Amino acid sequence: MRAHAAPAGLQCLGCGHCVAIGPVYKGCPRCGHVLITQYEALEVGLPVAAAAEAVAGRVPASPADLGQGSTPLLRADDPDGTVWLKCETANPTLSHKDRMQSVVSAMSRKLGHPGLVTTSTGNNGVAAAAFARRAGLKCLVIAHPGMPANCIWAISALGASIITASPLATERELIGTLVARGWAPVTSADPRCGSGWANPYIVDGYRSIGAEICAQLGRIPQVVALPVAGGDTFAGVWYGLQEVASTVGAAPPRMLAVQPEGAAWMARAQRDGEDASPLAAPSTAALSVLSELAGRHAVRSLITSGGLAISVPEADMLAETDRLAGLGLLVEATSALPSAGIRLARAAGNIKANETCVAVVTSSAFKWPTNGETLPREPSIRDRETLLEFVAGL
């Protein structure tokens, strides 16, 4: 377990207003923008390993522990050897959401909440159920209608309650009812993305990804790519990378916000700003990033880093899952977006051949069995002659 450093308070990204640590779940009390935890500045000039360890410990409460984090950083198959894969599939419930839920569940317990309520397409719900159980909290998961059966089973098996609430007004009412009863909402850090609710401690769970990348490389990468839905992960990883870079006195990386072409709101936001209009009808097979807009903290992170929003054609995204399978990594479609985005950005000349790039692989495909419905299946072989012919052809 890492030692953790408690935050000094919360600060609004919009107007700069400061708020004390506590159950503040509607964004900034003055302007409604995103609240982010603020920590004391680290000593400048630390070596990378020390800076990364300090940044990884910057969470509002000592996390509930199921062995999350410290995931592997693997080389990809690019000919220049400069692309790496940060494999969050190695977390206890097989996704990056474990990091966030470990922090939020611990913070919910610290603030005296009896339970937490969250929304999910799959990964987040399973992580919420696991870490709420570990922290001794009740948990309600409001499921997307398309949530895979494996995830529904896992959430129930871990002792959480699960329902589908539609339309959005019903979801908001349900969350509001539980918040009034003292529960913590765990939806998004931006109230406009979280059914009107916001949890400012969500982003802290992802700082450690950025810190670990730097520690594992032994340096600051030039480019880091992530898939984007609401943008909490994207912003959290950026904060971690930025803090390590500023502490060691190095330039921070450029961030790639990668989305499917049919749900590419970040590209619109990079052009029109954080208040860009939502997508009218987003569409993609990657359910985890099927979103009409992302958080304002994600847009600011993208712009501050000097990064780029990448829109990946659906066919390229699905082809990338096959390419990663060729490396022994079975990932859901969303998780293939970052490496596909790096490939497209390089082809367009936005990344140099010698620049070190990291693609964050967010989730395993094991919880998403529908991804495999179109995969070829070998026929059942029962007689010896056919079996020998089959083996001879391998």
Successive 10-residue mean pLDDT values, the chain, 394 residues: 77 98 97 96 94 92 90 92 96 97 96 96 97 96 91 95 80 90 97 90 97 98 98 98 97 98 98 96 95 97 98 96 95 97 97 96 83 49 69 71
3-state helix, strand, coil in the chain (%, to 5): 40, 15, 45
Is position 67 within any domain? no
- Residue 255 domain-assigned? yes
Residue type, 64: A
Domain CATH for 217: 3.40.50.1100
Domain match, 101 and 88 both: no
**Is residue 390 one of the residues assigned to a domain?**
no
Identity (one letter) of the amino acid at 367? Answer: K
Residue 193, domain member (yes or no): no
Considering the domain architecture, whether residues 224 and 366 belong to the same structural domain is answered as yes
Q: Residue 114 has what pLDDT?
A: 97
Last residue of a domain, one of 186, 219, 254: 186
**pLDDT at site 389:** 77
Q: What pLDDT sits at residue 374? A: 46
Q: Provide CB contacts within 8 A for 125, sequence distance 6+.
A: 118, 141, 143, 147, 151, 155, 160, 162
Q: Does residue 192 belong to any structural domain of this protein? A: no
Q: Please tell me whether the overall predicted TM-score, pTM, comes out greater than 0.85 for this model.
A: yes
Residue 281 sits in which domain range? 73-92+203-372
- State residue 78's pLDDT score: 83
Whether residue 353 sits in one domain with residue 296: yes
DSSP state of 117: E
Are both 226 and 178 inside the same structural domain? no
Residue 153 in domain: yes
User: Cα-flanking dihedrals φ and ψ of residue 17, to 5°?
Assistant: -60, 140
261 & 137 share domain = no
Instruction: Say how far apart CA 376 and CA 394 lie, in whole Å.
Output: 16
DSSP 264: -
Do 168 and 208 fall into the same domain? no
Q: Identify the pLDDT of residue 375.
A: 47
Both 366 and 229 in one domain: the answer is yes
- Is 59 inside any structural domain? no
Any domain includes 40: no
278 and 234 in a single domain? The answer is yes
Structural domains of the chain, count? 2
Rounded CA-CA distance 190/298 in Å is 10
One domain for residues 305 and 325: yes
Whether residue 267 is found in the same domain as residue 317? yes
Q: Look at residues 34, 9, 41, 101 and name the one whose alpha carbon lies nearest to residue 242.
A: 41
Do 77 and 104 reside in the same domain of the chain?
no
Give the integer Cα–Cα distance in Å for 290 and 104. 23
Contacts of 394 (CB under 8 A, 6+ apart): none
E-strand ranges in the chain read 9-12, 18-19, 35-38, 73-75, 83-87, 115-120, 138-143, 161-163, 184-186, 223-227, 254-260, 308-312, 357-361
- Asked whether residue 296 falls in the same domain as residue 216, the answer is yes
Write down which residue in 158, 186, 214 finishes a domain: 186
